[in-house]
Amino acid sequence: MNQRLKQLVLGAGLILMLNACHKEEIVIISQPLIQSGNVIKSDTLKGSVKGTMLTGKTYYFNSDITINDGDTLLMQSGVKLLALGDGKTAATAPEIFNHGTFISLGTKDQPNYITVKNAADLHTQATQQNYTNVFQGWWGGMVCTPAAATTTNPAPQGGDVIIKWTHVEFAGSPAGANNETAVYKAGDPRYNIYFGNLKKNFIVEDSWFFGAKDDNIRVVGGKVSIMRNTFELCGGAGGEFVNMKSGTVGDLAFNMCIGAATNSIKASDSGTSGTQCNVNVYNNTIVNGGFRQTKTGRGGSINYEAGARGSIYNNLIVNCRFGIRITPDADVANVLYGNHFFYGSSAAIVAQFYATDGIGKGVGVSKTTDILSATPQQNNPMFYGYDVNAYNFTANPGPITSNLQPYTLLTIGNANFNLKEDVSPGIKKSKTDFLPLKAVTTTGNYGTTITPPGKDIGAYQTDGTGNLH
Q: What is the DSSP letter of 46?
A: -
**Residue 354: which of 362, 343, 364 has the closest Cα?**
362
Q: Mean pLDDT over residues 423-436, rounded? A: 98
pLDDT beyond 70 at 11: no
Same domain, yes or no: 297 and 398: yes
Q: How many residues does the chain have?
A: 469
The domain total for the chain is: 2
What's the chain's average pLDDT? 90
Those residues with Cβ within 8 angstroms of residue 365's Cβ, 6 or more apart along the chain or in another chain: 326, 354, 358, 359
- Is 5 a member of any domain? no
Same domain, yes or no: 161 and 283: no
Same domain, yes or no: 358 and 449: yes
Cα 300 to Cα 91, 262, 349, 377, distances in angstroms: 34, 6, 10, 18
- Is 59 a member of any domain? yes
Same domain, yes or no: 442 and 321: yes
- Is 244 a member of any domain? no
- Is 122 a member of any domain? yes
**Residue 367: which of 358, 354, 376, 377 has the closest Cα?**
354
Same domain, yes or no: 161 and 287: no
> Is residue 417 within 8 Å of 382, Cβ to Cβ?
no
SS3 category, 86 = coil
Same domain, yes or no: 281 and 382: yes
Same domain, yes or no: 289 and 429: yes
d(CA 464, CA 469): 11
Of 27-31, 48-52, 229-233, 310-314, the range with the lowest mean pLDDT is 27-31
Choosing from 196, 214, 232, the residue where a domain stops is 214
Tens of pLDDT, residues 183-215: 999 999 999 999 999 999 999 999 999 999 999
**Residue 131: which of 468, 432, 409 has the closest Cα?**
409
Rounded-to-10 torsion of CA 406, 302, 393, 359: 170
Same domain, yes or no: 68 and 198: yes
d(CA 305, CA 300): 14
**Residue 354: which of 431, 301, 278, 430 has the closest Cα?**
301
- Is 233 a member of any domain? no
| Range list of β-strands (E), 17-75 | 47-48, 51-53, 58-61, 65-67, 72-75
Which residue would you say has higher pLDDT here, 408 or 103? 103
β-pairing, 80-83 vs 193-195, is unpaired
**Residue 340: which of 307, 300, 308 has the closest Cα?**
300
Residue 294, pLDDT score: 84
Q: What is the DSSP string of 374-406?
A: SSTT-S---EEE--TTSS--TTTT----GGGS-
d(CA 424, CA 433): 22
> Is residue 293 within 8 Å of 398, Cβ to Cβ?
yes
Choosing from 214, 249, 268, the residue where a domain stops is 214
Task: Give the bridge partners for 247, in sequence order.
Answer: none
| Range list of β-strands (E), 254-367 | 256-260, 265-268, 278-282, 285-287, 302-305, 310-313, 316-318, 325-326, 335-338, 341-343
- Is 57 a member of any domain? yes
Residue 397, pLDDT score: 63
- Is 174 a member of any domain? yes
**Residue 170: which of 144, 131, 224 has the closest Cα?**
131
Residue 21, pLDDT score: 44
Same domain, yes or no: 321 and 436: yes
pTM value?
0.91
Task: Give the bridge partners for 2, in sequence order.
Answer: none
Q: What is the DSSP letter of 117?
A: T
Sign of the CA dihedral running 220, 468, 389, 350: positive
Same domain, yes or no: 195 and 282: no
Tens of pLDDT, residues 367-412: 999 999 899 999 999 999 999 998 877 765 667 887 788 888 999 9
Instruction: Look up the domain containing 456 and give its range.
Output: 277-464
Which residue would you say has higher pLDDT here, 90 or 277? 277
Residue 403, pLDDT score: 79
Q: H-helix or E-strand containing 250?
A: strand 248-253
- Is 104 a member of any domain? yes
Q: Mean pLDDT over residues 5-15, rounded? A: 44
Choosing from 187, 214, 241, the residue where a domain stops is 214
> Is residue 138 within 8 Å of 121, Cβ to Cβ?
no
Tens of pLDDT, residues 115-173: 999 999 999 999 988 888 999 999 999 999 999 999 999 999 999 999 999 999 999 99
Same domain, yes or no: 322 and 454: yes
Cα 414 to Cα 127, 261, 374, 384, 417, distances in angstroms: 12, 21, 30, 11, 10
Same domain, yes or no: 194 and 337: no
Tens of pLDDT, residues 312-350: 999 999 999 999 999 999 999 999 999 999 999 999 899
d(CA 213, CA 189): 7
